Structure 1
Amino acid sequence: MKAALASFLQRLRTTLGGKMPALVGLGNALGTDGLPVRLSSRTYAGLRQRPVRELGFDQPLLWVVVALLAWGLVMVYSASIALPDNPRFANYAQTHFALRHGLFIVIGLVAALIAFQVPMQTWERYAPWLFALALLLLVVVLIPFIGKGVNGARRWIPLGVINFQPSELAKLTILLYAADYMVRKMDVKERFFRAVAPMAVALAVVGMLLLAEPDMGAFMVIVVIAMGILFLGGVNARMFFLIVLVVVTAFALMVMMSEWRRERIFAYLDPWSEQYALGKGYQLSHSLIAFGRGEIFGVGLGGSVEKLHWLPEAHTDFLLAVVGEEFGLVGVTIIIAAFLWLVRRIVLIGRQAIALDQVFAGLVAQGVGLWIGFQAFINIGVNLGALPTKGLTLPLMSYGGSAILLELVALAIVLRVDHENRLLMKGGRS
């Protein structure tokens, strides 16, 4: 018995001795020091080296944008579903505005995908030409047989499926131009006239064209974008605050010299007075009623009463009021938090680009953050009665073709900046 056992062990030792080098080699391939233990067939199948695939852009930022777009589409449908009851929109279907808004989103996403493929060096090279194109379109829209007028304002150029608004293009192009300008003027940024005067002239030209439409809201956004980029680009702080003082004084004079702008201010201060409740304060008063009806959790999706021909422009400038009525304080808080997170994320991408010595890309990203943040701040403030009524849409959510298109293109450029940041940090080229 013992002889048989000893013979079996000897044969087993001989067999394992022949197989050991192969097993040890397999163990080394797996990154272990000894034999592979309890390896399944799936583990063996995965031994081949596979390249690690990473999405080269900020995924959380993309998903927040998609969430805001989707929520905005739902709210545009909710806010506009009753519009066909109005004789002005009698020939429209209940889904007219929702379908068009969805089409605008699709067009914007296609344009954003194309914009993402363009390197930042190309945007920098063509920034002055894009700005010149925007100025040309701002002139063209004022021509009576080309520009389309609505409610006394001539701001749109009809292009078939979309009424293009040149002021939206001007926001993007002034952003690109200001970033390129600061890169070119970096060595003279401490000298007021050489660093600031040319940009001031460009803003003055844009301002005259926008006020001729008139579109003071877009002009305010453009001024904030340009001034913000000047400040972030390193313009002397004393010069910057001097510019702020001049701009604030100019806006104050424009309000004082315009009777209907003064009435808007007075209506904002007391929208419930008999003088303004049915006039300049009508939108604001009904917006506040909508928020009041919503309370904490809202009346439920589709349950808004103010959208039933009480609140004008419920699907555009006052979409947030419908959100407040149907989703309450909770819904409004979520939207505000989403925009705060979005702007912070965009600014961090810009700071990272500047840290990587990509100054133009960094200033562009931070400029987009200023644009989205300031416009959202104005729209939210107007809807809540914290700011005078101004015709600015809620970014990514309100109905509007050219606004959605250019905002998505701007955010695609931010994702491109982030993509190039990641390439540089990995040792590649942007």
Structure 2
Amino acid sequence: MASAPASDLYVKLSNARHPIDIKLLAVVACCMAIGLVMVGSASSSIATANYGDPFYFLIRQTIFMTIGVIVLAGTTLVPIETWRKMGFVPLIVSVLLLVTVLLIGREINGSKRWLPLGIFNLQPSEVVKVAMVIFMAFYLSKWGDKVCGPSWIEFFKPIACLGVVLIFLLIQPDFGSSVVIASSLMGMIFLAGARIGKFFVLLVAGGIGAGYLIYDAPYRLKRLNSFTDPWADQFGSGYQLTQSLIGFGRGGWSGEGLGHGIQKLFFLPEAHTDFIFSVIAEELGLVGGVCLIALLFFVSWRGLRIGHLADRAGQKLGAYMAYGIGLLFGAQVFINIGVSSGLLPTKGLALPFVSYGGSSLIMNCMAVGLLMRIDFERRTLGAVKAVKKKRGGSSHE
């Protein structure tokens, strides 16, 4: 029987209630809008002092957001099968970027995490986060049965690839990104069906490794001590955390009002980047902070939901990519807010869609574009099946 006419498929898709995930798109737009407003509020003083223009960071963030929207739209147009054909390319690109930044990268605050590109600094770790999710999704979709089988060797093959990337990240050093990438990719392997006993071995090994890294680097041990009691040295190693906590305390339930916070006035370091949530808590209060957390975790939940639906539809590559992106967002939000609220030791990590920074914003937009494409293909597959079922099936595409 001939395949279903394109007009039938078009009608089926047109009659769908939502041909694309409108809710995800709307929430992401809200997060970016809030981020743009808060970057403008948190950066005006430092922008005036350093560049003589209170809107310096706001203008740049607007440009980054525009590029991010274009990237999101472009990524939505790329078929998921195209990413499968890349194979090991995302892993190779990740390693090359991390090696390059170690060789010629720009050092800021003792870390080599940025590649100067003239108009802005590229942070390779942000690219690596998405690239490694794509690679792991490809690997699991192709060899997932072996990885989840009884063989320890097959289980450790993708772990070894992840280990290479983590080594280069820790050399920078970038402990925060290492934790985010490792936890997200481990979550992907777990959701693929790997045996939980193997993760226990990795957890023990990871705990020993993390303990050694903390002991080996005095600044990490100092951060840990400051985390346990920041007020013991509130003008030294605990300064950033205590200033952040003061912002939380000043905010109360409803906040001081947009633009009326004082911690951003050279009291709180990195107010418009890693610690922007403290500014949000001070100016918008508990209510505003909780609303933003709900929006950000909705993106994470939506990614996992899209992955679950794609998995049920048999689209393994898209499912694993969506799982990874959902976990990636969730881990970044949890760690960033945990750090600024004193729940976790201090580490540099951007709050998705909210913190100032082109690399983070653009790559997060790309990740959302991937989610939109995965969900669209899952819905399209459902429409095709419905038309074929109505017409008695087809042996030709």
TM-score by length of 2: 0.91
- Check the 8 A contact 2:47/2:55 in 1, yes or no: no
Residue 56 of structure 1 and its aligned partner are, at CA, apart by 2.4
Rounded Cα–Cα distance in structure 2 between residues aligned with 1:290 and 1:385: 12
Which residue identity is paired with 1:358?
Q
* Among 366, 382, 391, the residue aligned to 2:339: 382
Rounded Cα–Cα distance in structure 2 between residues aligned with 1:340 and 1:404: 16
2:43 alignment counterpart: 80
Percent of aligned positions that are identical: 38
Residue 55 of structure 1 and its aligned partner are, at CA, apart by 5.1
User: Which deviates more from structure 2 when the two are superposed, residues 204-213 or residues 180-189?
Assistant: 180-189
Matched, 1:238 2:197: yes
Mapping of residues 30-41 of structure 1, within 5 Å: none
Which residue identity is paired with 2:134?
L
- Check the 8 A contact 2:47/2:57 in 1, yes or no: no
1:57 alignment counterpart: 20
2:31 alignment counterpart: 68
Which residues of structure 1 form unaligned runs of 5+?
A: 1-50
1:121 alignment counterpart: 81
* Among 190, 203, 213, the residue aligned to 2:162: 203
User: Which deviates more from structure 2 when the two are superposed, residues 100-109 or residues 188-197?
Assistant: 188-197
Rounded Cα–Cα distance in structure 1 between residues aligned with 2:55 and 2:323: 37
- Check the 8 A contact 2:141/2:320 in 1, yes or no: no
Residue 85 of structure 1 and its aligned partner are, at CA, apart by 5.0
Mapping of residues 253-272 of structure 1, within 5 Å: 253-272=212-231
**1:206-250 deviations in Å (ceiling 9; x for gaps):** 122111111111111110121011101111111122222222221
1:365 alignment counterpart: 322
- Check the 8 A contact 1:286/1:311 in 2, yes or no: yes
Rounded Cα–Cα distance in structure 2 between residues aligned with 1:285 and 1:192: 48
1:53–1:179 Cα change, 3 Å: closer
Matched, 1:281 2:233: no
Partner of 2:352: helix, strand, or coil? coil
Residue 164 of structure 1 and its aligned partner are, at CA, apart by 0.8
Rounded Cα–Cα distance in structure 1 between residues aligned with 2:87 and 2:110: 32
Aligned length: 373
Rounded Cα–Cα distance in structure 1 between residues aligned with 2:87 and 2:280: 37
Which residue identity is paired with 2:368?
L
2:4 alignment counterpart: none
Question: RCO (CA 8 Å, sep 6+): is it higher in 1 or 2?
Answer: 2
1:17 alignment counterpart: none
User: Which deviates more from structure 2 when the two are superposed, residues 149-158 or residues 95-104?
Assistant: 149-158
- Check the 8 A contact 1:178/1:226 in 2, yes or no: yes
Matched, 1:176 2:139: no
Matched, 1:102 2:62: yes
Partner of 2:366: helix, strand, or coil? helix
2:348 alignment counterpart: 391
Higher Rg: 1
1:333 alignment counterpart: 290
Partner of 1:393: helix, strand, or coil? coil
- Check the 8 A contact 2:48/2:54 in 1, yes or no: no
User: Which deviates more from structure 2 when the two are superposed, residues 319-328 or residues 200-209?
Assistant: 200-209
- Check the 8 A contact 2:133/2:325 in 1, yes or no: yes
1:226 alignment counterpart: 185
- Check the 8 A contact 2:332/2:350 in 1, yes or no: yes
Residue 186 of structure 1 and its aligned partner are, at CA, apart by 2.4
Which residue identity is paired with 1:182?
L
**1:346-374 deviations in Å (ceiling 9; x for gaps):** 21110000000001100100110100001
Rounded Cα–Cα distance in structure 2 between residues aligned with 1:111 and 1:339: 20
Moved over 4 A (4+): 51-55
Which residue identity is paired with 1:386?
L
Partner of 1:154: helix, strand, or coil? strand
Which residue identity is paired with 2:74?
I
Residue 288 of structure 1 and its aligned partner are, at CA, apart by 0.5
Which residues of structure 2 form unaligned runs of 5+?
A: 1-13, 389-396
Residue 406 of structure 1 and its aligned partner are, at CA, apart by 0.6
Residue 286 of structure 1 and its aligned partner are, at CA, apart by 0.5
**1:239-269 deviations in Å (ceiling 9; x for gaps):** 1222222222211221122111011000011
* Among 222, 235, 260, the residue aligned to 1:303: 260
- Check the 8 A contact 1:127/1:173 in 2, yes or no: no
Partner of 1:427: helix, strand, or coil? helix
Rounded Cα–Cα distance in structure 2 between residues aligned with 1:208 and 1:407: 23
Say what the alpha-carbon RMSD is for the aligned residues: 1.6
Rounded Cα–Cα distance in structure 2 between residues aligned with 1:107 and 1:427: 33
Partner of 1:185: helix, strand, or coil? helix
- Check the 8 A contact 1:192/1:239 in 2, yes or no: no
Rounded Cα–Cα distance in structure 2 between residues aligned with 1:204 and 1:420: 32
